Amino acid sequence: MAPHAAVLLSLLLLTTCAADTHLHFFLHDVVSGSNPTAVQVIKGPASSSNALPDVAFGDTTVIDDALTETSSPTSAPVGRAQGFYMMSSQSGMVLMMCVNLLLTTGDYNGSTLAVIGRDDVMTTTRELSVVGGTGKFRMATGYVVWKTNSSSGADATIELDVYTTGLNGTATIDANAPVSPIDGSGATGKSSSGAAALRGAVPYGWANAWVAAVLVALAGCVW
């Protein structure tokens, strides 16, 4: 089979059996009280932001926020949001959000989603990016609809709708895949170098990779 035909077939199969997931839960960002889950670790140098008197450009908060099933903080826990957010606009309450969503229930227990994005706090609904994941979310991509459900002072409850597409944890990379040279040893073109040997093997290697991709995709569909 011509390589490009194999590519198209793999893409088609992957598209057909890629898992689309929609998750819904709430994040509780607790800054106040004796048990905060969000702690400011950097204070911006100037109160250059106009939105709130106490907020400055550069303010950075590290979080380990609870994720729960409903908007009540005492509802069933589903995971944690671990990461940080930083005030990254000089003209308003806009956060750079960088967070791993760790899920701790059911089949998703231990799987994570890497979320990064622009959180324009004063807007009703924001959209952040899912840039990857692990476990069930390995190689996932997607987006999160991020909506303030309630707030009290600096504390906030956020409603999250996570939409991802991925391979539902079925993606693997062969443990026997050859090690690629990363030391530049191939640059001299010496015939004895590992890189030269690898160059010779490339066409065969790629053909194998496409066949493997098709088989993996087929296997995924059968399951």
Ligand X SMILES: *[C@@H]1O[C@H](CO)[C@@H](O)[C@H](O)[C@H]1NC(C)=O
At its nearest, how many Å lie between ligand X and the CB of residue 177?
25
Task: Tell me how many residues contact ligand X (CB under 6 A).
Answer: 13
Alpha helices in the chain (DSSP H): 3-17, 194-222
Phi-psi region of 83 (alpha: psi -120 to 50; beta: other; left: phi over 0): left
At its nearest, how many Å lie between ligand X and the CB of residue 207?
29
Residue 64: closest CA among 81, 85, 86, 84: 81
Which stretch in 53-61, 99-107, 115-123, 179-187 sits in contact with ligand X by CB under 6 A? Answer: 99-107
> Of 49 and 142, which CB lies nearer to ligand X in the complex structure?
142
At its nearest, how many Å lie between ligand X and the CB of residue 91?
26
- Residue 156: both structure tokens together: 């906030």
CB 144 within 8 A of CB 133: no
Residues in 3-22 at the binding interface with ligand X, rule: CB under 6 A: 19
Which stretch in 33-41, 105-113, 125-133, 180-188 sits in contact with ligand X by CB under 6 A? Answer: 105-113
Residue 11: closest CA among 222, 223, 216: 216
At its nearest, how many Å lie between ligand X and the CB of residue 158?
10
Binding mask 109-128 for ligand X (x = CB under 6 A): xx------------------
**Angle, alpha carbons 161-163-166 (nearest 5°):** 150
> Of 79 and 83, which CB lies nearer to ligand X in the complex structure?
79
Regarding 60 and contact with ligand X (CB under 6 A), the answer is: no
Cα-to-chain-centroid distance, residue 10: 24
Main-chain phi, psi angles of 45, to 5 degrees: -70, -30
At its nearest, how many Å lie between ligand X and the CB of residue 178?
31
Regarding 40 and contact with ligand X (CB under 6 A), the answer is: no
Q: Contact with ligand X (CB under 6 A): which of 48, 60, 70, 82?
A: 70
At its nearest, how many Å lie between ligand X and the CB of residue 111?
9
CB 43 within 8 A of CB 1: no
Regarding 170 and contact with ligand X (CB under 6 A), the answer is: no
Cβ-based neighbours of 86, under 8 Å, separated by 6 or more: 42, 58, 59, 60, 61, 95, 96, 98
Tokens 């088609």 — which residue?
12
> Of 93 and 161, which CB lies nearer to ligand X in the complex structure?
161
Residue nearest to ligand X (CB): 107
For binding to ligand X (CB under 6 A), which residues are involved? Answer: 19, 70-71, 104-105, 107, 109-110, 136, 147, 149, 159, 168
